[in-house]
């Protein structure tokens, strides 16, 4: 059996000291949004409590679907690298970056330099970082990237033809090898959660790849809400699971409180058995509880 945890939207708080020269372009709107809204709903204390609970599960692997930072300041990127190292070794954790990690041009490249093996794995082409694959027992974790810098007031992601072609080939190879294929991406790829200002450009292309080659599970973040949807695959519906922001404090009006998902995956004859448990805070109370348990396969 392989135990896989999924967390997302870390948004490490508080912001480091911000200098006037840092507030150029999109960062000024992001900084104002932090001061007026996000500072009150993204809690470092909630994140610490949630991660302590997750660590006690002794998982085999942790999938992180992005937004480690807020404004992608150099100090934030460096702090996120230290946080990942405290979470665990790179062979047991990988990151699919989010739009906040690519907030401005050049930020994502800094993340690659600081996060190292946490944001890398096996690839088809030397010059193409995504998708990359991590193999954990019978599970192949396939990390895509939707992270791109955008204009102010936009939080969209992008999934293009090059990445789609590579994802298709990876799904084909890992499927033929008998792996339970888990695809991670920050932005949700399903139709229900698309919006011109924060959706995924190329969401249909992503679904088409899954429709042709299949996979067993898709994980995403970005919405700061727990959600369960699906994509049509060649052998039936593929579950698409979103998780609430790991740093979300209780009492927020828009976001679900901090949560993580835990998947227990094992072979069941010629198929798979997979159970999902959602752990996190309720809107009232100070304890982390198991909010949901469901069998996916």
Tokens encoding 165:
């072609």
What is the pLDDT at residue 270?
85
CA–CA dist 50, 287 (Å, integer): 10
Bridge pairing between strands 217-220 and 236-242: parallel
pTM (2 d.p.): 0.96
Nearest to 64 by CA among 138, 120, 143, 139: 143
pLDDT band at 192 (very low <50, low <70, confident <90, very high): very high
Contact 93, 66 (CB under 8 A): no
Q: What tens digit of pLDDT does each residue of 1-46 get?
A: 999 999 999 999 999 989 888 888 899 999 888 888 888 788 678 8
Q: What tens digit of pLDDT does each residue of 104-160 get?
A: 999 999 999 999 999 999 999 888 999 999 999 999 999 999 999 999 999 999 999
Strands across the sheet with 236-242, in order?
A: 132-136, 139-143, 180-184, 217-220, 236-242, 227-233
What lies within 8 Å, CB to CB, of 197 at 6+ separation is: 153, 154, 155, 156
Contact 206, 219 (CB under 8 A): no
What is the pLDDT at residue 284?
76
What lies within 8 Å, CB to CB, of 247 at 6+ separation is: 9, 10, 11, 12, 13, 42, 43, 44, 46, 47, 258
What's the rounded mean pLDDT across residues 150-174?
97
Q: Is the pLDDT of residue 252 over 80?
A: no
The 10 Å CB-count burial string (b at 16+, else e) for 263-292 is: bbbbeeeeebebebbbbbbeeeeeebeebe
Q: Is the pLDDT of residue 253 over 80?
A: no
Contact 124, 169 (CB under 8 A): yes
pLDDT band at 235 (very low <50, low <70, confident <90, very high): very high
């Amino acid at each position: 059996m392989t135990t896989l945890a999924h967390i997302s939207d870390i948004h490490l708080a508080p912001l480091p000291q911000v200098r006037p020269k840092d507030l150029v372009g999109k960062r000024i709107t992001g900084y104002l949004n932090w001061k007026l809204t996000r500072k009150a709903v993204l809690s470092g204390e909630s994140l610490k409590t949630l991660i302590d609970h997750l660590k006690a599960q002794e998982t085999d692997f942790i999938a992180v679907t992005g937004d480690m930072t807020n404004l992608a300041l150099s100090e934030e990127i460096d702090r996120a690298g230290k946080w990942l190292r405290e979470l665990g070794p790179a062979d047991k954790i990988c990151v699919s970056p989010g739009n906040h990690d690519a907030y401005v041009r050049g930020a994502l490249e800094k993340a690659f330099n600081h996060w190292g093996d946490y944001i890398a794995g096996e690839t088809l082409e030397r010059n193409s970082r995504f998708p990359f694959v991590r193999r954990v027992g019978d599970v192949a974790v396939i990390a895509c990237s939707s992270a791109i810098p955008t204009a102010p007031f936009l939080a969209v992601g992008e999934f293009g033809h090059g990445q789609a072609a590579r994802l298709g080939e990876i799904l084909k190879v890992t499927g033929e090898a008998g792996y339970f294929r888990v695809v991670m991406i920050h932005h949700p790829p399903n139709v229900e959660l698309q919006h011109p200002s924060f959706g995924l450009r190329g969401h249909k292309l992503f679904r088409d790849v899954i429709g042709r080659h299949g996979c067993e599970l898709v994980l995403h973040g970005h919405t700061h809400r727990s959600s369960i949807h699906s994509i049509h695959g060649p052998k039936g519906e593929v579950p698409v699971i979103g998780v609430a922001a790991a740093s979300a404090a209780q009492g927020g009006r828009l976001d679900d409180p901090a949560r993580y998902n835990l998947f227990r995956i094992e072979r069941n004859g010629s198929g798979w058995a997979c159970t999902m448990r959602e752990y996190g805070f309720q809107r009232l109370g100070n304890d982390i509880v198991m909010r949901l348990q469901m069998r996916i396969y």
